[in-house]
Chains A and B, each alone.
Chain A
Amino acid sequence: MNTSQTPELLTEIVEGKPIPVDKLAYFRRRLRLQLHELVLRTFDQQETLTKAELARRIGRAPEVVNRLLGGPGNWTLDTVSDLLIGMATLPFFDTKRVSQLLTAQNEQIHSTALAALSVIPDESRQVDANNAPTIPAPRGMGQAQQGGGYFTVRP
């Protein structure tokens, strides 16, 4: 692969070298933030579920659920699972190869790469590379407001 355009953050990952501890820290933090955003988005999509009801469903105190939804600071994988299952959403994830992401970048199909980052195929995000992408916005948001993400979950 031509790595001349490889972002500094991905250099060792692409070259198969030991990944420095600071870069591992970066991706851990990104994962935590992305999972938090995913949980917040899922909660916003609930028609009637309140934080108190979510707390009751997963056996936590309401103030604890309030804090967990506030930020991902002390989350564990179990926290993510409990919160999503409490919202009747299966926490099944898939991954995306860095090489695919870089290929998309090198082809300069910026918006196509954005759509491809949803790792479980989602027909609503499929993009025809020959046409401008159509990325439906979540309820209540314009397209420009939608965040790029690494994950989708199965409802």
Chain B
Amino acid sequence: MSIQDEINRLVQEGSLFRLDQSMPGLAARRTIFASIGVRALAIGPWGNVEERVRGRELQADFDHFIDGNKLNLRSQNSFEETAFMARLAPPSDEVWEIRSIDPKPSLRVFGSFVERDIFVALTWARRKDLGGRRDPRWKVAISNFKEAWERNFNSYKPMSGHYPNEYLTNT
């Protein structure tokens, strides 16, 4: 068994979804596997118009990733607010976020890489619910992600490599 086998198993049992490129005619150069919760956030079903609009905007962010477009990653040890993705501290946890910044409410989708350009997104949070950089709610969010990872992948660890080129092409 490998982590790829685990992903295949989770996809087959319906607890993990490969997100397809929404637009026709574009090659998928990266892959996102999403949990039921992350998929519902971006793809629906949504409860109201506001959720529907915000979900579509997140879907656009995911498609931008899947397209293989050039991504702006937050430099390590910086707090750049506008980056598309960032690896969270401590780096050894290998917890990343896709930062769907605008419009409000700003969203954070937490995930890890299993291979270069293959991202598994399991949990999410509204940025306003996480507080400032040192707010303990960040640790809770990261801890929740790590628990979700262990629930899904048992002893398999996320990939670890040289930041950022071993994680992503075209950064």
- A: residues with CB less than 8 A from B are 5, 7, 9-10, 20-23, 25-27, 29-30, 33-34, 36-37, 40-41, 44, 67, 69-71, 73-74, 101-102, 104-105, 110-111, 113-114, 116-117, 141-142, 144-149
Contact = CB atoms under 8 A, between A and B. Distances in A.
6 contacts: A25-B56, A25-B60, A37-B69, A101-B23, A101-B25, A114-B26
Sorted nearest first, the 8 A-B pairs with minimum C-beta distance are: A71-B82, A113-B25, A70-B82, A147-B69, A29-B60, A105-B24, A26-B56, A145-B169
Nearest to B49: A21
A147 B83 CA distance: 18
B53 interface: yes
A147 B56 contact: no
Contacts of B68: 144-148
Interface of B is mostly: loop
B56 A33 contact: no
A114 B26 CA distance: 5
Given A113-B25, A141-B170, A29 B69 contact: no
B26 to A, nearest CB: 4
A7 B57 CA distance: 17
| Chain B residues touching A, range | 20 to 34
Interface string B43-65: 00000010011011101110110
Nearest to B29: A144
Interface in B102-130: 102
A98 to B, nearest CB: 9
A110 B25 CA distance: 5
A30 B82 contact: no
Contacts of A141: 169-170
Given A29-B61, A145-B170, A146-B170, A22 B55 contact: yes
Interface string B74-95: 0000001111100000000000
Given A70-B72, A144-B169, A30 B63 contact: yes
